[in-house]
């Protein structure tokens, strides 16, 4: 037997590459007028986000919802925490409808959601989905009554509900009871393991209670939010094995900047690769004055780089080295990426499939021509000391060579022409 034979451990057929099959879940539809977003079932993973405006400022909130929707958020959650906020929800919905933005709105309720939905029926109707956290609805019979009231309203208005359990507001009575039970085990678990189990038990038991109160099982989404990567992975693996409700993924309080992006990606990528998760939100803390839509872009890029969805053409660009001391290729890569994203609202209407396009912007002759050939369209810029010429490759073939100070403008025009030719509808050409 040779070392290269299949019997020695070499695969005769290459193993499959890509995410595992999605776990089977119930489909839940979130609607507003002609817009219907399915979460779970056979639907792709849904991207959602949340505003950080004061909901009492209807104009500012509607504007941010519009921006998040235009960035690609398919559901947008807004805080409904006071009577004043609840009163403005219909106005927010009306402003969005006038702007032609029909993204479904999710109401985020804590403590007093049962009162607000009862006192403001127009708010209850204008929202497309309710988010309930059972851990902060009181204790004992009061909690049960408040929860039942919210579920009854959801049934009345035919609204789906996300039952979202959070480790920062876990039901204290449940946790105490499970800690007592754990102390009687022959080999007790550590407190962190009990907390993880309590999150799962709370989510599922509240979902079962909602069904007993009349809510359809096809109107329930679950989440168990924690802020540490390994806890999130463990909790969702357990949750997904114990129920068939669709799951909302998100690392709560992920943090700012690269830390928040890295932590969220590390957690969600593992779960998505295992087929777990039906909708995601990236909970980034924005820098002062930062763009809230960044969390939408990060969510999209996680799904797209994993090969699960396509949202906008992706740019492959080298990191740069001593051969690429000029910043020109960096500026061109950034310019092209921004151009592609800005064009997408128009392109997705007229050029179906353009979101799968790959563009390469490379900085020298080492890997540049090869990477450019592998892309749909690519350019290999001259590195330091190289001949000042930039060959362009289209569908693997070298076509033209650009020179001079107008390389960026000429390449952008070539990309535009390529999109029109390859993705344009035949009857429009």
Segment 185-222, tens digit of pLDDT:
999 999 999 999 999 999 999 999 999 999 999 999 99
Task: Say whether both 283 and 349 belong to one domain.
Answer: no
Task: Say whether both 302 and 335 belong to one domain.
Answer: no
Spatial separation of the C-alpha atoms in residues 209 and 175, rounded to whole Å: 18
**202 occurs within a structural domain:** yes
Please choose, from the candidates 170, 252, 233, 158, the residue with its C-alpha nearest in 3D space to the C-alpha of residue 206.
170
pLDDT digits (tens, 9 = 90+) for 124-141: 999 999 999 998 998 888
Task: Say whether both 402 and 255 belong to one domain.
Answer: no
Q: Which residue has the higher pLDDT, 20 or 264?
A: 264
Task: Say whether both 358 and 221 belong to one domain.
Answer: no
**60 occurs within a structural domain:** yes
**18 occurs within a structural domain:** no
Residue 318's domain is classified under what CATH number? 3.30.413.10
* Band (1; pLDDT cuts 50, 70, 90): very low
Task: Say whether both 222 and 350 belong to one domain.
Answer: no
Q: Is 157 left (phi over 0), alpha (psi -120 to 50) or beta?
A: alpha
Task: Say whether both 248 and 113 belong to one domain.
Answer: yes
Model confidence at 10: pLDDT above 70: no
Task: Say whether both 106 and 224 belong to one domain.
Answer: yes
Task: Say whether both 284 and 399 belong to one domain.
Answer: no
Model confidence at 149: pLDDT above 50: yes
* Band (381; pLDDT cuts 50, 70, 90): confident
Spatial separation of the C-alpha atoms in residues 254 and 283, rounded to whole Å: 6
Range scoring the smallest mean pLDDT among 34-38, 82-86, 270-274, 319-323:
319-323
Burial of residue 105 (CB within 10 Å: 0-12, 13-18, 19+) is buried
Model confidence at 17: pLDDT above 80: no
**1 occurs within a structural domain:** no
* Band (8; pLDDT cuts 50, 70, 90): low
- Per-residue burial over 199-221, b = 16 or more CB atoms within 10 Å of its CB, e = otherwise: bbbbbbebbebbeebebeeebbb
Pairing mode, strands 105-109 and 161-166: unpaired
pLDDT digits (tens, 9 = 90+) for 295-314: 999 999 999 999 999 999 99
pLDDT the model gives residue 383:
76
Task: Say whether both 400 and 300 belong to one domain.
Answer: no
| Domain enclosing residue 284, as ranges | 25-306
For the segment 413-421, the average pLDDT, to the nearest whole number, is 96
For the segment 16-30, the average pLDDT, to the nearest whole number, is 89
**287 occurs within a structural domain:** yes
pLDDT the model gives residue 329:
75
pLDDT the model gives residue 86:
98
Cα 365 from chain centre: 36
Split into its structural domains, the chain has a count of 2
For the segment 47-72, the average pLDDT, to the nearest whole number, is 97
- DSSP state letters, 112-179: SHHHHHHH-HHHHHH-SEEEE-GGGS-SHHHHHHHHHHHHHHHHHHT--EEEEEEGGG--HHHHHHHH
Total residues found in the chain within this entry: 429
Query: In the listed set 257, 281, 306, which residue is the last one of a domain according to the structure?
Result: 306
**4 occurs within a structural domain:** no
Helix/strand/coil for 401: strand
Binding-site members are 318, 321, 364, 371
Task: Say whether both 79 and 204 belong to one domain.
Answer: yes
Model confidence at 258: pLDDT above 60: yes
pLDDT digits (tens, 9 = 90+) for 324-378: 766 777 888 888 889 999 999 899 899 999 999 999 998 888 888 899 999 999 9
Task: Say whether both 280 and 345 belong to one domain.
Answer: no
Binding-site members for [4Fe-4S] cluster are 318, 321, 364, 371
Arithmetic mean of pLDDT over the chain? 92
Please choose, from the candidates 381, 341, 378, 373, the residue with its C-alpha nearest in 3D space to the C-alpha of residue 359.
378
Task: Say whether both 94 and 31 belong to one domain.
Answer: yes
Q: What percent of the chain has a predicted confidence (pLDDT) above 90?
A: 75
* Band (283; pLDDT cuts 50, 70, 90): very high
């Amino acid at each position: 037997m040779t070392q290269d034979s299949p019997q020695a451990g070499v695969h005769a057929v290459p193993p499959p590459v890509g995410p595992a099959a999605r776990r089977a879940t119930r489909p839940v539809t979130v609607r507003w007028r002609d817009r219907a977003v399915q979460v779970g079932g056979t639907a792709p993973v849904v991207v959602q986000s949340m505003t950080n405006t004061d909901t009492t400022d209807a104009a500012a909130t509607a504007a941010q919802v519009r921006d998040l929707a235009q960035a690609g958020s398919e559901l947008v959650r807004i805080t409904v925490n006071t009577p004043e906020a609840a009163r403005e929800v219909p106005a927010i919905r009306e402003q969005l409808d006038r702007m032609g933005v029909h993204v479904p709105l999710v109401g985020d309720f804590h403590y007093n959601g049962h009162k607000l939905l009862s006192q403001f029926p127009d708010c209850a109707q204008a929202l497309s989905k309710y988010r309930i956290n059972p851990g902060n609805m009181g204790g004992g019979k009061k909690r049960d009554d408040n929860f039942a009231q919210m579920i009854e309203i959801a049934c009345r208005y035919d609204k789906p509900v996300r039952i979202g359990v959070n480790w920062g507001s876990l039901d204290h009575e449940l946790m105490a009871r499970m800690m007592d039970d754990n102390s009687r085990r022959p080999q007790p678990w550590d407190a962190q393991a009990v907390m993880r189990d309590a999150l799962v038990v709370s989510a599922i038991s509240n979902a079962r209670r909602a069904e007993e109160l009349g809510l359809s099982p096809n109107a329930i989404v679950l989440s168990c939010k924690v802020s540490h990567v390994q806890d999130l992975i463990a909790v969702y693996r357990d949750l997904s094995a114990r129920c068939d409700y669709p799951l909302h993924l998100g690392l709560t309080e992920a943090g700012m900047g690269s830390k928040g992006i890295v932590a969220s990606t590390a957690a969600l990528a593992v779960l998505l690769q295992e087929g777990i998760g039906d909708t995601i939100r990236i909970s980034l803390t924005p820098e002062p004055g930062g763009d809230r839509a960044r969390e939408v872009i990060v969510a999209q890029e996680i799904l797209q780089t994993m090969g699960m969805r396509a949202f906008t053409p992706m740019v492959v660009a080298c990191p740069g080295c001593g051969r690429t001391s000029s910043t020109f290729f960096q500026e061109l890569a950034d310019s092209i990426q921004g151009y592609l994203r800005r064009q997408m609202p128009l392109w997705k209407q007229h050029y179906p499939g353009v979101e799968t396009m790959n563009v390469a912007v490379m900085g020298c002759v080492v890997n540049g021509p090869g990477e450019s050939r592998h892309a749909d369209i690519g350019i290999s810029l001259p590195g330091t000391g190289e001949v000042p010429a930039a060959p362009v490759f289209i569908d693997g073939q070298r076509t033209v060579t650009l020179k001079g100070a107008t390389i960026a403008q000429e390449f952008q025009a070539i990309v535009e022409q390529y999109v029109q030719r390859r993705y344009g509808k035949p009857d429009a050409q």
